[in-house]
Structure 1
């Protein structure tokens, strides 16, 4: 079902519907600050598998996890280097995804993660409102793998409509580019995917700390 967000009442109904669907193990589509995302309860392996199936992705391409607060970083990740925390302080919420070592105690199955998790806090009021009610969500761009990411609800519905229970429609997203992905599992960071944040912006934060990123995007 598709939910508009023109009024406060419509927005509340949309967020309620999405959070209930997540608790039922279903998939939901909602806007982020980059593109529309399709999300599932990160702690529900069957829901995560449904997300991968809907996109046509294998377990070798695990989805990132979106969170509603930067403090959640330490609940989900370990051994986060200081330079990565500096990037979080500067760019969360925002289009920065950090690949970190995951907490070994986490009871989830995101796919073949090799002990890592990709984390992001989006800079979008609707996305954050959903995440505050659901907790961490496994979220990928709302598209079929190999096709362009959805920038509005129409595009998301065309590609994923049969697989999702709720689509929150807030019009076109403001971001044209996906998030920049940075590998924070080593002593020195690496850009794994170029995106909305340029390496120059990231290094401007890191250089005073004596750190820089390499670009493998």
Structure 2
């Protein structure tokens, strides 16, 4: 069954539609949603079947996943990742915003999300739609960018028609939140206090690391 498109305005999200998305996530749906960087695909981190399905869509084994999670705020992050005082101060300046921090994972991260690397990427996007979804759901969702790999050039589609055509058989719900962006987040390795930018993206690391 092709994905359902749900239009939600980011400036004033319709909470009935947010509830519709949250209920679907609880039942194992794969959802495409806007962020402050690019459109992302995800599911409830506690729905094992949904995570397995997302891994299959991405063509990877669950134990090899490199998914990140979207959290509501810094206190939410501390449940699933170990955050040093130095990292906390840095993330307080970065979030909400276009950054992903790779941190040591805690045992509270669902088993299917745990990998041999024992790390997890975390995001707190500056976007009302994922924020409202996570707040209502009560726990993080997975974030993995919706992208095209064409001749080794990564492109992030932004037109909802293109996203639908490419993903209508993969996702259950595609949220049309309008234009969000075509540049991914800046990824910061923060497993210790020797921070390293491992992917340059929309976020300016020098700006938050002053």
**Structure 2 residue corresponding to 1:114, chosen from 102, 114, 117:** 117
Q: TM-score, normalised by structure 2?
A: 0.86
Shift, 1:132, TM fit: 0.9
Q: Structure 1 unaligned runs (5+)?
A: 205-217
**Structure 1 residue corresponding to 2:207, chosen from 201, 204, 209:** 201
In 1, the alpha carbon distance for the partners of 2:80 and 2:15 equals 28
Q: TM-score, normalised by structure 1?
A: 0.83
With over 3 angstroms needed to count, the CA separation of the structure-2 counterparts of 1:125 and 1:139, relative to structure 1, is: same
* Runs of 4 or more consecutive aligned structure 1 residues displaced over 4 Å after TM superposition: 6-10, 144-147
**Structure 1 residue corresponding to 2:183, chosen from 172, 177, 187:** 177
Higher RCO structure, 1 or 2 (CA under 8 Å, sep 6+): 2
Is the contact made by 1:144 and 1:160 (CA closer than 8 Å) also made in structure 2? no
**Can you list the C-alpha shifts for 1:96-134, whole angstroms capped at 9, x where unaligned?**
111111112433312635211110101001110111122
With over 3 angstroms needed to count, the CA separation of the structure-2 counterparts of 1:103 and 1:23, relative to structure 1, is: same
In 2, the alpha carbon distance for the partners of 1:96 and 1:7 equals 20
1:161 and 2:164 aligned: no
Partner of 1:52: 55
SS at match of 2:112: coil
How many matched pairs? Answer: 202
Q: Structure 2 unaligned runs (5+)?
A: none
With over 3 angstroms needed to count, the CA separation of the structure-2 counterparts of 1:121 and 1:9, relative to structure 1, is: closer
